[in-house]
Amino acid sequence: MTEPEIFDVVVVGSGAAGAMAALRASDQGLSVLIVEKAQKFGGTSATSGGVMWIPNHNLNHEGDSRAQALEYLGSLCTDVGQHDRLEAYVDQAPEMLRYLTATGVKVIAANWPDYFPDKPGARADRSLICPTFDGRELGEQRYPLMREQYNRFKLFGRYAMDLTETFTLMARAKGWRSTAARILRRYWTDYDTRRISRRDRRFTQGAALMGQIYKQLFGRGIEPRLDTSLESLLTETNGRVTGIAVSNFGRTYEIHARHGVVLAAGGFEWNQELRDRFYKVPGLTRHSSTPEDGNRGEALIAGESIGASVEHTGQGWWIPTMNLPAPGASNFHEIHQAAFDVGRPHSVCVNRNGVRFVDEATGYDSFGQAMVEDQLKTGANTPCWLVFDATFRSKFSAGGLMPSIVTPDRKIPSDWWDHYVFRADTIDALAEKIKVPQDALKDTVSKMNEYARVGIDPEFGRGGNIYDRFFGDATVSPNPCLGPIEKPPFYAVPINNGDLGTKGGLRADARARVLDKDCEPIPNLYAAGNCSGNPFGSIYPGAGGTIGPALTFGYVAANDIAARAGNQRGTATQQGN
C-alpha cells in the first residue's frame, strides 16, 4: 500500500478563505495543499463582486480608526457571542490587507457607504475593490479553470464588466451605450484570446481578486487539486485532527496534515436539510445566487461528527432574487439578484397581503431579514412582490428582466407572462392576477405616490439616508428613491429571499480554531469564511462584509498554524538537545 501524502497544512476549499490560508501558510514556510470539490477553482468568491469590507485599512489617510470601527460594530452587533473574535477582525483585517498588498495584489478604496450609515462610527470608505486583472497571466491552461463570474456581472452573460460598468449599465446611467460598445469591442478585438477561448481574459470584480491571489499561489507552486471533495476528518484517539479523507471521481483516499486542516469549504446554502434544520424560514436552495455545485455543508457535517459546535447558523447572507429561465442553463443562470432594483423609484415591495414591510432601498441583507420577520408575523411573505409601473420598466432592471429599452415587452417570450412577469393595465387588474387584495394594493400604491410627491416615506424612511440614495435615481426628485407608480401598464415580479451564502457555520475562535461543545479548540482544526460562524453575528456591516472576514480568518488561521508549527519544531529541537 502506498503511504498517504502528507503536507504541513491541508486546506479544504479554493475560495477567498482557502486561497488566503494557503498563500499565507506557504509564505510562513509551510507545505500546503488545497483540495477543491468543484471542477473549477475560486469558489463563490470568484463569481462575486469581490468587494472587501476592511475597517481602518489605512489606504487613504482620512482617519478611520480601531476605536471608530469598534464603535460602529459595537452599536450593531449585539448577538456576536464572541467579542474577542469581533475585535480580532478589526485588528487583523488591516494586517491581512497589508500582507496581501505586499504580495503584489492591487486594491482600490471605493466610496461605498456602510450599510447602517446612521449608526455611530459609520463611514463611506471601508469597502475595497480590485482593479481588472488579465486572467491570462494565470497561464493558458489555468485561466479558463477559474470559476466564471456571476451571470449578471457579465454583459449578455459573456463579456466581463467591472463594477463601474455594471452599475452604469444596470442604471442606464449617462454613457451606458458607449460603455456597452466598448465592452463588446474590447472582447472581439482580442483576437489572440478569441483563438483559444470563449472566456474573457478580463477578470473583473471577484475574478480580479481571486485571479490576483491565484497568480501568487501558482507562483509559489501551489495548484488547487480539483474534483476532490472532503469526505471526513481523520483524528487520533485524543481528538487531534491528523488529516482528511477525500473522494475523487469515486476513489477515496487519505491526505495527512502535520500541523493543521483549514476548513474553508463555504457555507451550506445548497443543502436543503441543513436549511430546514437551522432556519426559521428555510427557503429553497435554488433561490441562492451561489454556484449550485459548490457549498453543501459537508465540512460543517464533518466537523460536527467529531464534536465541533456551530454558531450563527440561523441566517443566510440574504439578497432578494428572482427567477427567469435561461435555456440550457443551470440554476446559477436562472437566478437573478434584485438587490438594487427593489429600491428604485416608481416601485414598491409588498407582501401577499398587499402591505409594505421594509424600506425597500435598505441593504440587501436587511431586506432579507425583513422578509423573514414579515413571513413569521403574517405568513404572507417569501416570496413577496416587486410592483412597478411603465416608467420603472423603461429605466431599470427587475432582477433578470432588463429595462424595456433593452428587452421590450414584445420580446418577452409568451410563456414568461403571468408566470415570471405579470402585467396589467390597472393596479386592480394586477392585484387580481397576483392574488393580492385589490384594496390593500391600491392603498399602498396611493400612499407611495403621495410619499413620492412630498419626498418623505413616513412608514419606513425610504431614501432617508445616504446608503438608500446611493442607488437611487438622481434624476428623480425630491427623493431619488421614490417615484410615483402611475404610468400603465403595471408590472409585478415575485421576489425570493435569496442569498449570497450562509452566515453561520463551525464555531471558531479569535484564532480561527474550531471549538468543541465545551468551547475548547479541537487540536489542529481551523475554519474560515462561510464555513465558520461570521464575526458579526446577524449583521452585514457593509459592502464586502463576507469576503473581508473570509480573507482575514484564512490569514489568521495560517498565522496560528505557523506559530504552532514553529513551537512544535522548537519543542522537538529542544527535546532533541
- The site for ligand FAD (CB under 6 A) is made up of 12-18, 35-38, 43-45, 47-51, 150, 229-230, 264-266, 289-290, 294-295, 298-299, 317, 500-501, 529-531, 544-547, 550
Decide whether 47 or 285 has the Cβ nearer to ligand FAD. 47
Decide whether 151 or 479 has the Cβ nearer to ligand FAD. 151
Shortest distance, position 128 Cβ to ligand FAD, whole Å: 10
Is residue 266 a contact partner of residue 36, using CB atoms and an 8 Å limit? no
Decide whether 452 or 556 has the Cβ nearer to ligand FAD. 556
**Burial label, 415 (beta-carbon count in 10 A; 0-12, 13-18, 19+):** exposed
Beta-bridged to residue 502, according to DSSP, are: 316
Is residue 515 a contact partner of residue 84, using CB atoms and an 8 Å limit? no
Decide whether 51 or 514 has the Cβ nearer to ligand FAD. 51
Q: Which three cell numbers stand for residue 547?
A: 469576503
> Distance (Å, rounded) from C-alpha 275 to C-alpha 277?
5
- The gap from C-alpha 44 to its chain's centroid, in whole angstroms, comes to 7
* Residue with smallest beta-carbon separation from ligand FAD: 15
Shortest distance, position 34 Cβ to ligand FAD, whole Å: 9
- The three-state secondary structure class of 508 is strand
Decide whether 36 or 148 has the Cβ nearer to ligand FAD. 36
Shortest distance, position 35 Cβ to ligand FAD, whole Å: 5
Shortest distance, position 148 Cβ to ligand FAD, whole Å: 11
> Distance (Å, rounded) from C-alpha 29 to C-alpha 206?
27
Shortest distance, position 390 Cβ to ligand FAD, whole Å: 29
Shortest distance, position 326 Cβ to ligand FAD, whole Å: 15
Decide whether 305 or 426 has the Cβ nearer to ligand FAD. 305
Shortest distance, position 381 Cβ to ligand FAD, whole Å: 22
DSSP alpha helix (H) spans, 189-317: 191-196, 205-219, 272-278, 298-305
Decide whether 210 or 401 has the Cβ nearer to ligand FAD. 210
Decide whether 207 or 387 has the Cβ nearer to ligand FAD. 207
DSSP 302-317: HHHHTTB-EESTT-EE
Q: Between the CA of residue 577 and those of 23, 209, 332, 571, what are the distances in Å?
A: 33, 46, 58, 10
Q: Which three cell numbers stand for residue 292?
A: 449550485
Shortest distance, position 518 Cβ to ligand FAD, whole Å: 26
Shortest distance, position 120 Cβ to ligand FAD, whole Å: 23
Q: At what angle do helices 66-76 and 83-102 cross, to 10 degrees?
A: 130
Is residue 552 a contact partner of residue 536, using CB atoms and an 8 Å limit? no
Shortest distance, position 138 Cβ to ligand FAD, whole Å: 16
Residue 489 preceded by cis peptide, ω within 30: yes
Give the number of other Cβ atoms within 10 Å of residue 226's Cβ.
Answer: 16
Decide whether 278 or 422 has the Cβ nearer to ligand FAD. 278
> Distance (Å, rounded) from C-alpha 253 to C-alpha 231?
9
Decide whether 390 or 528 has the Cβ nearer to ligand FAD. 528
Is residue 38 a contact partner of residue 572, using CB atoms and an 8 Å limit? no
